[in-house]
Structure formats: C-alpha cells, structure tokens
C-alpha cells in the first residue's frame, strides 16, 4: 500500500512525517491506521512531551485522502462510511493526545489533510502554503463528525468558504482568521516550529496535559472531558513537578520537570 508514516523521537519531541511524495503526501488507509496506532502508544509514553506533524518535502503537508483508495474502499455509501470511520478515528486519536501537537504546513493542505491539521493544537505554516476542501468538486459527502474541528480552526464563515467554493485559502488569509498560529518563510518555518516545540518540551507535562484537556472541555459539550480535566489538574497540583517548579522559582533557576 502506498505511503507511510515516518516516526522519530528525540529530546522529548516526536516527529511524524506523512510520506507519500508521489501523491503529494496523500494519506492512505494504512497511513490513517498508523497515525491512530502511534497515538494509542504515545499516550502512555513518558519520553514524548510534544509532537510535530508534517508532510515529506516542501510541496505539501498533504493532498488529502489517497483517492486511489476510493475505488476499492469508498465506492459506495457503505464503503464511504467505513472509510470515514478510519479517518475520524485517526483524527480523534491525534486530537486526544495528552501533549501538544504542532502541524507544520508546507504547500498544499487539502481535504482530509486540512482535517488532520485541524486535529493538531497549533499550526505553523509557510507563507506559500494554502488550504482547500475540494469535496464539492468530487461530489462526496463530508463526514459531519469532522466539522467541529474545521469550525474551531477556520470559524463558521471560513468553513463555509472552503466548502462552498472549493477554492484555495491562502496562508496569509488563514493567518488573519486565526487558522494558522505562526507564519514564516518556507526556509524558516521548520526552525520556527522546532524552537516552539523545544520550548514547550521544557514545560511541566502534567500541566500541559491538564491545560489541553481543560481547553478541549471548554470548547464544546464534553462532560467526560471536564471530569478528566479536573482529575488532571488535581494530579498536577499534587505532583513532584509542582514542588520542583516552586523550588526552581525560589532558587532562580530553570526547573527540571520529570512528569511525576
């Protein structure tokens, strides 16, 4: 099956690369499943504090779901539902990771690629990048389970524009409406993302987990998430890291957090 997800972990940062360059990093069924598998494992690892997700090369974050899958896996309504389940499961898994996830966007970020980028916590993009949702050009129905992510990132009017026109939304305009958090030149964008990730990785991981859960709970009707956020906040307040943070502040030094 075409495409793969390359994964490396170093210095507290997991780096995931969507690798299918012959198809502008289109995401195959196997790649969606690999993303979900990574998330299931990484959620329990203590050596990962931040993740960076990008596409291979500088032409595309992702051109979307791999159309070559569609004849076999998405040829009718039943197949479309099964395929949408795979995509939704992967996006929800990335969204639910207990640490920040940064999408680094070069070039095209299209269709399901835009959905995946919207599952990340922050988006850092090259000023030459663009988003598009071409569903109306393909005649396919967009899974409504993915719409809350797009609405959160692009806003109601931005999502309407993407869906109704199927036109490109340039990185500059996406930055203006808040869909992109940081904008840089293509030559600088990876370094900008690396510096941000390293800064985050130095922070207390239990605090980051509690904050992410609290933010997600506040964004929508997520009763179970609110209870989980309260437990995570209490765990951070009772942690050795909290004691270390107070001590480091008093001693005027950088804290050394362990996630305990």
Q: What are the residue ranges spanned by the domains of the chain?
A: 4-201, 205-250
Q: Please, are residues 64 and 73 in contact by the beta-carbon 8 Å criterion? A: no
- CA angle, residues 74, 141, 53, in degrees to nearest 5: 75
Long-range CB contacts (< 8 A, 24+ apart) of 237-243?
A: 239/204, 239/206, 241/204, 241/205, 241/206, 241/207, 242/204
Reported as a single tens digit per residue, the pLDDT across 85-102 is 999 999 999 999 999 999
Q: Is the dihedral of CA 206, 211, 216, 222 positive or negative?
A: positive
d(CA 64, CA 27): 6
Taking Cα atoms as reference points, which of 132, 130, 107, 245 lies closest to residue 180? Answer: 130
The confidence band for 164, taking pLDDT boundaries of 50, 70 and 90, is very high
CA-CA-CA-CA dihedral for 172, 177, 182, 187, to nearest 10: -20
Decide if pLDDT at 69 tops 70.
no
| Cα–Cα distances in angstroms (integers) from residue 168 to residues 129, 142, 209, in the given order | 10, 17, 34
Burial of 30 from C-beta contacts in 10 A (0-12 / 13-18 / 19+): middle
Q: Please, are residues 160 and 169 in contact by the beta-carbon 8 Å criterion? A: no
Reported as a single tens digit per residue, the pLDDT across 206-256 is 999 999 999 999 987 767 889 999 999 999 999 999 999 999 999 999 999
Would you tell me how many other CB atoms lie within 10 Å of the CB of residue 191? Answer: 10
Decide if pLDDT at 129 tops 60.
yes
Three-state DSSP state, 150: helix
d(CA 65, CA 52): 20
Q: Which class in CATH covers the domain with range 4-201?
A: alpha beta
pTM: 0.93
Q: Please, are residues 87 and 112 in contact by the beta-carbon 8 Å criterion? A: yes
Report the percentage of the chain scoring pLDDT > 70: 95
């Amino acid at each position: 099956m075409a495409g793969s997800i390359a994964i490396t972990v170093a210095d507290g940062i997991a780096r995931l690369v969507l690798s299918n360059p012959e198809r502008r990093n289109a995401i195959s069924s196997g790649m969606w499943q690999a993303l979900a598998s990574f998330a299931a494992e990484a959620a329990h690892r203590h050596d990962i504090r931040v993740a960076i997700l990008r596409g291979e090369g500088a032409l595309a974050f992702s051109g979307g779901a791999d159309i070559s899958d569609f004849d076999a896996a998405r040829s009718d309504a039943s197949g479309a539902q099964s395929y949408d389940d795979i995509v939704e499961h992967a996006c929800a898994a990335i969204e639910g990771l207990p640490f920040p996830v940064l999408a680094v966007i070069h070039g095209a970020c299209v269709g399901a690629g835009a959905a995946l980028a919207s599952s990340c916590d922050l988006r850092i993009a090259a000023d030459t990048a663009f988003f598009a949702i071409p569903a109306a050009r393909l005649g396919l129905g967009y899974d409504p389970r993915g719409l809350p992510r797009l609405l959160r990132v692009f806003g109601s009017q931005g999502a309407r524009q993407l869906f109704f026109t199927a036109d490109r939304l340039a990185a500059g305009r996406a930055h203006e409406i808040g869909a992109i958090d940081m904008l840089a030149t293509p030559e600088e964008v990876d370094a900008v993302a690396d510096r941000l990730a390293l800064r985050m990785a130095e922070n207390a991981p239990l605090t980051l987990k509690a904050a992410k859960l609290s933010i997600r709970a506040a964004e929508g009707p997520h009763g179970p998430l609110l209870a989980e956020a309260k437990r995570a906040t209490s765990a951070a307040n009772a942690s050795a890291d909290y004691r270390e943070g107070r001590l480091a502040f008093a001693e005027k030094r950088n804290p050394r957090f362990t996630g305990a």
